[in-house]
Structure 1
Amino acid sequence: MIPARYAPILFGFILSGLMSLMVSGISTVLATGLDADLARRWLLGAWLPSWAVAFPAVLVVAPITRRLVAALTRPQAG
């Protein structure tokens, strides 16, 4: 198991991987259509480069987003 102190990094790794997989897949299909070479073109040509950008971006943007959400919301009365 991975120590809990690495949870934000692991979260960013998984989130950026899944989101870039979905977005690059949709974009690749819309741009090039469905054909026999789609998987290679999507995974190697679109997804991996997208993930290489998305992972560090998530690590930078997530704390900013958390602060914005905290500023725009109020605690629940309990």
Structure 2
Amino acid sequence: MLKPKHTPVVFALLMSGTMAGIVSAVVVIINTGLDAGTPQRWLSSYVIAWPVAFVSLYSLKDKVTKVAEKLTNPPS
């Protein structure tokens, strides 16, 4: 089992993997249609999208969290 200190990395891996999978599937289907070659096209897209999504999510998480907090917390 991983240690709690690894939670941010595990979260980023899981979230980016999920989102990259969904978004790449939608984009592939919209751009090329749904046929027998879709899974291969999706996988080719996914192996590029996941690392990009992971690096983006992990590197921007603190900045995005601050913006979200400003948008959701009333001024003091």
TM-score w.r.t. length of structure 1: 0.88
- 1:41-62 C-alpha deviation (Å, 9 max, x unpaired): 101x211100111101100111
Deviation at 1:68, TM superposition (A): 1.0
Equivalent residue, structure 2, for 1:71: 70
The list of structure 1 runs, each at least 4 consecutive aligned residues, that deviate by more than 3 angstroms after superposition, is none
Equivalent residue, structure 2, for 1:34: 34
Tell me how far apart the structure 2 counterparts of residues 63 and 22 of structure 1 sit (CA, whole Å). 24
Unaligned segments of structure 1, at least 5 residues: none
Q: How many residues align?
A: 74
CA RMSD of aligned residues (A): 1.2
Equivalent residue letter for 1:54: A
Quick one: percent identity of the two aligned structures?
A: 31
Query: Does 2:13 align with 1:20?
Result: no
Tell me how far apart the structure 2 counterparts of residues 27 and 74 of structure 1 sit (CA, whole Å). 35
Deviation at 1:35, TM superposition (A): 1.0
